[in-house]
Structure 1
Amino acid sequence: MAGHRALVVGGSTGIGRGIADAWAAAGAEVVVCSRSRPTGPGAEALRWQALDLTRPEQAHPRLYELAAGPLKAVCFASVHYGAGRAPFSEVAEQEWLDQLAVNTTGLWHTLAASLPSLRTAAPGLFLGVSSEVAFNAGPGRSGYAATKAASKTLLDSVAQEEDSSAVRIVQVLPAGMVDSPGIRNRRPEDFDFSSYMKPSDFGALARELAVTSGEKYHGDSLVVGGDGRWWSAYGAAPVSQSRSVRS
């Protein structure tokens, strides 16, 4: 990836950060767009640009600016989970609007902004971070499930439109829960995260996809396990992380 430029939307923490770190380690110049600045080990290798997808009047023009020019790889990892799992009737409309703005409309604009630059790279890679909920739905997560399912189908459709010799579109998702600040905000202070995956579990796949521009995986959704291995969601469906909520 040396000499190539990559863009990670939502790359300051979580899976996006794991992908950004892997691409930077492979030699790419990585621009991370997010609300918060990347911190901790490896942050010095990332170039940060502030971006808040819940403020589209500012975020969308900035996306088009950042995606202009040569781009070898783009990752969309931004996500709005919501305040917590709750029945549909207890969820405020604003939460739904924010989930749409980030999870789906943010992806749409990232695609629209970056596809021309990725086609110029030929082959360029567009990597979307998906979720098992896009396959399984689940109670208490109606807005998150709906927007992630819409995002998956958007990328599936664009993958069928694009010439894979110019742009390759791949989606990745975790086999289990991932330890990240967003998840930690929704757990008790004494919660045990030892069984959770880590963002770095995505490093090996992220590196291979970037170096090969997603060769062999165009149009696929790849599930990543805690040991760093991956497989197609269409060969072994991802396990649901849903749990019952009060009605």
Structure 2
Amino acid sequence: MTESLKADSTVFVVGGSTGIGRGIADALLADGRKVVIFSRSRPEGLESSPRLVWAPMDLTQPEESRNQLAEAVGRHGATLDAVFYSAIHYGAGRAPFLSVTELEWRRQLDVNLHGLWLTLQGTLPALSRRSPALFVGISSEVVYNAGPERSGYAATKAAASSLLQSIAEESAEPAVRIVQLLPSGMVDTAGIRRRRPDDFDYSSYMQPSSFGRIAVELVRSRGEGLHGQSLVVTAEGEAEPVSLAPPVSQSRRSV
């Protein structure tokens, strides 16, 4: 794709201030796209590129989030080619089901599932007008493995994956191609670090930047040939269908 065409290409990254979302946003910026990050916290480096835009959003406030999405689509929808949904609420930490508060459960629903629903509702019409366009959800191994002491996280991520898969199956040749990505192992993110001891060793963890290459490839191709697929991303940035690379459970109590 030429630089002039890239300049007319906008990508939304919901949950892009840190973690996997930020790794994706940085790679797409480097590829010449305009990137709009939706997040509660202000992303670092906003001043470094005129193509990086921040749209404040708190997905626990659904009406405000709906309005923010509508405003952003109004401003950028004419060039919107792809949306990445990377927003996540892990919770305070792993805990038995009966120890999890209703407030935490509702926050997981708001961010992990209802926020995805709002984003789909708010962006699919604009994406359809740029056919073929792309919607990418960041999934998790819990969709396939569940695991103890993470009932809310596992339930909401499984429901989110099913929501995207159901939409993907509505059309064999859609205007918007639906793809899901998930890491092959634990990822070193700000959210994970808040739940670990100060002296925790992250040397075996993936980096958010591992998602950069596949994100760029997906946007360049608009997900051609990958509609409805879930891809497992490795630390080296390789991606394989989940059917060929079943994710390993991360239910170790120490992490």
State TM-score, norm by structure 2. Answer: 0.92
The correspondence for 2:15, drawn from 10, 15, 26, is: 10
Whether the aligned pair in 2 keeps the contact of 1:21 and 1:42 (CA below 8 Å) is: no
Paired positions, count: 245
SS in 2 for 1:176: coil
Counterpart in the other structure of 1:227: 236
Structure 2 CA distance for aligned equivalents of residues 194 and 43 of structure 1: 29
Moved more, 68-77 or 90-99: 68-77
The equivalent of 2:211 in structure 1 is 202
Matched position secondary structure for 1:59: helix
Residue 90 in structure 1 maps to residue 96 in structure 2: no
Aligned counterpart, 2:54: 48
2-structure distance, mates of 1:42, 1:192: 32
Unaligned residue ranges in structure 1 (runs of 5+)? none
1:64 equivalent in structure 2? 70
Q: Secondary structure at the match of 1:161?
A: coil
State the Cα distance separating 1:41 from its structure 2 match: 9.4
> Quick check: 160-169 or 224-233, which moved more?
160-169
1:151 aligns with 2:156: no
CA distance in 1, matches of 2:111, 2:16: 14
State whether residues 128 and 171 of structure 1, in contact with CA within 8 Å, keep that contact through their aligned partners in structure 2. yes
Is 1:77 equivalent to 2:86 in the alignment? yes
Q: Residues 162 and 168 of structure 1 are in contact (CA less than 8 Å); yes or no, is this contact kept in structure 2?
A: no
How far 1:38 sits from its partner (Å)? 1.3
Deviation at 1:64, TM superposition (A): 2.2
Residue from 107, 128, 133 that aligns with 2:142: 133
Q: Secondary structure at the match of 2:36?
A: strand
Moved more, 37-46 or 180-189: 37-46
Offset of residue 43 of structure 1: 5.8
Contact 1:7/1:67, CA 8 A, preserved across alignment = no
After TM superposition, the structure 1 stretch with the greater mean CA deviation from structure 2, 167-176 or 56-65, is: 56-65
TM-score by length of 1: 0.95
Q: Tell me which moved more, 144-153 or 158-167.
A: 158-167
2:17–2:39 CA contact under 8 A, matched in 1: yes
Indicate if the aligned counterparts of 2:148 and 2:251 stay in contact, CA closer than 8 A: yes
Cα-to-partner distance string for 1:97-137 (whole Å, 9 max, x where unaligned):
00000000000010011101111101010010000001110
Describe the SS at the equivalent of 2:87. Answer: coil
Q: Runs of 5+ in structure 2 lacking a partner?
A: 1-5
Query: In structure 1, what is the Cα distance between the partners aligned to 2:69 and 2:243?
Result: 32
CA contact (8 A) 2:87 2:112 kept: yes
SS in structure 2 at match of 1:222: strand
Equivalent position SS for 2:7: coil
CA RMSD of aligned residues (A): 1.6
Q: CA deviation at 1:243?
A: 2.2
- Within a 5 Å distance, the mapping from 1:17-32 to structure 2 comes to 17-32=22-37
Pairing of 1:110-121 with structure 2 (within 5 A) = 110-121=119-130
Cα deviation code 1:50-87 (max 9, x no counterpart): 10001112112211221342210101100000000000
